[in-house]
Amino acid sequence: MPPVESLWVYLAERPLLWLTLTVGAYVAAHRLYRGFGELAILNPVLVSVVLIIAVLRLSGTDYATYFEGAQFVHFLLGPATVAIAVPLYRQSQELRRLWRPLTAALLAGSLTAVLSALGLGWLLGLDQATLLSLVPKSVTTPVAMGIAEQVGGLPSLTAVLVILTGVVGAVAGLPLLAVLGIREATARGLAMGVAAHGIGTARAFQSSERAGAFSGLGMGLNAALTALLVPLLLYLLKLV
Amino acid sequence: MLEALMLLLGCQLLGEVLAGLLALPVPGPVIGLVLLFAVLAIRGGVGDGVGELANALLRHLSLLFVPAGVGIMRHMDRVAADWLPIAATLVGSTLLTLAVTAAVMRALTRESR
């Protein structure tokens, strides 16, 4: 085997290469995003995912091999989710003041997410398994997969749809809210978390700590509420 | 910094254990978030170490979603088969949810002022 090829075989089997690719692609994507004046469509998550998939396809690497390196980054999602308690604690006075509007907006948003997915998907003729997999799309991945499984959707399809929803929210969310004239960090943040879970929350943190804290709150509460609402609504609509 | 890391990991671990034992409809790290919030409230402050670690983790939260995002490659064909109605439903529903949540929140916070 020629030296270059044997070096490739050596590196491709080890986590370091894929860990470096993950961080490297993100750094490049982030520079690109900054370079173009934070143009929404150049969202760093979207661009890095596209870049990495291209590299994996071209090099014939499967996801399992890639994930052996990427898991070190993926692991930090857990502690980072716990860390959202810090900005949330810094906003606790405001939380106490706003609990009523928060509860109402959360309920309205959660119902809209579920019912609009059901309604639009039904109108556009999606089959039942796909439709049920789409229903929990606005909820953080582990909860969404659990809901899909419970109601007869396909959990692995749901995982993909959840990620795509997060990317749509991160790309289009803040521009949409700006067009609607909504400038309050509390309303913008909560909406990002309820509609687009963690990926929306990550985007909200880039806009301000206050928006990020409310987004994290929306993400957590919406996960619990949707898990309770979906089985109940489907039962009432006689879909399950 | 090490104590802060221990606190975060401890909250997550306890969160995972509680979520598993009580079969809660919320993932372990979200329970861990609630636990850390309780710890901070009892302590009456964030403290430098925890504050710095949280800032470091949250500043580039987006990066942490990249490995899961690349997972899309495993299911491309299934989504591709029905991509138009799926995309229309997903985009329409997400934008509507954003608009409704933010509009209700803003309307009610204005009233309460």
| pLDDT single digits (tens) A36-75 | 988 888 989 899 999 999 999 999 999 999 999 999 999 9
Q: What is the pLDDT of residue A188?
A: 97
Contacts of B55 in chain A (CB under 8 A): 86
Residues A105 and A203 in one domain: yes
Final residue of a structural domain among A44, A75, A106 = A75
Domain region containing A25: 3-75
Residue whose tokens read 């804290």: A213
Q: Is residue A88 part of a domain?
A: no
Q: By the 8 A CB rule, do B66 and A25 touch?
A: yes
Between B5, B89, B106, which is nearest A182 by CB?
Answer: B106
Give me chain A's average pLDDT, please.
91
Q: Is residue A171 part of a domain?
A: yes
- SS3 state of residue B24: coil
Q: How many structural domains is chain A composed of?
A: 2
Residues A57 and A176 in one domain: no
Cα radius of gyration (chain B): 20
> Within an 8 Å CB–CB cutoff, is residue A168 touching chain B?
yes
Chain A residues 102-131 with CB within 8 Å of chain B? 102, 104-106, 108-109, 112-113, 116-117, 120-121, 124-127, 130
pLDDT tens digits, residue range B16-69? 999 889 987 778 888 899 999 999 999 999 988 999 999 999 888 889 989 988
Residues A12 and A62 in one domain: yes
Final residue of a structural domain among A40, A75, A110 = A75
> Within an 8 Å CB–CB cutoff, is residue A232 touching chain B?
no
Contacts of A83 in chain B (CB under 8 A): 8, 36, 53-54, 57-58
- What's the residue count for chain A? 240
Contact B51 A86 (CB under 8 A): yes
**pTM to 2 decimals?**
0.87
Which amino acid is present at A91?
A: Q
Residues A138 and A38 in one domain: no
Residues A137 and A213 in one domain: yes
ipTM (interface predicted TM): 0.91
Q: By the 8 A CB rule, do A23 and A73 touch?
A: yes
What are the E-state strand segments in chain A?
Answer: none
Output the furthest CA–CA distance in chain A (Å, rounded). Answer: 69
Q: Is residue A34 part of a domain?
A: yes
Residues A126 and A46 in one domain: no
Residues A131 and A159 in one domain: yes
Between A87, A108, A159, which is nearest B101 by CB?
Answer: A108
**What is the average pLDDT across A85-91?**
90
pLDDT at B110 over 80: no
Residue in A closest to B5 by C-alpha: A79
Which amino acid is present at A53?
A: I
Q: Is residue A83 part of a domain?
A: no
Final residue of a structural domain among A43, A75, A107 = A75
Residues A125 and A204 in one domain: yes
Residues A124 and A229 in one domain: yes
Q: Is residue A81 part of a domain?
A: no
Residues A102 and A70 in one domain: no
Confidence of residue A239 (pLDDT cuts 50, 70, 90): low
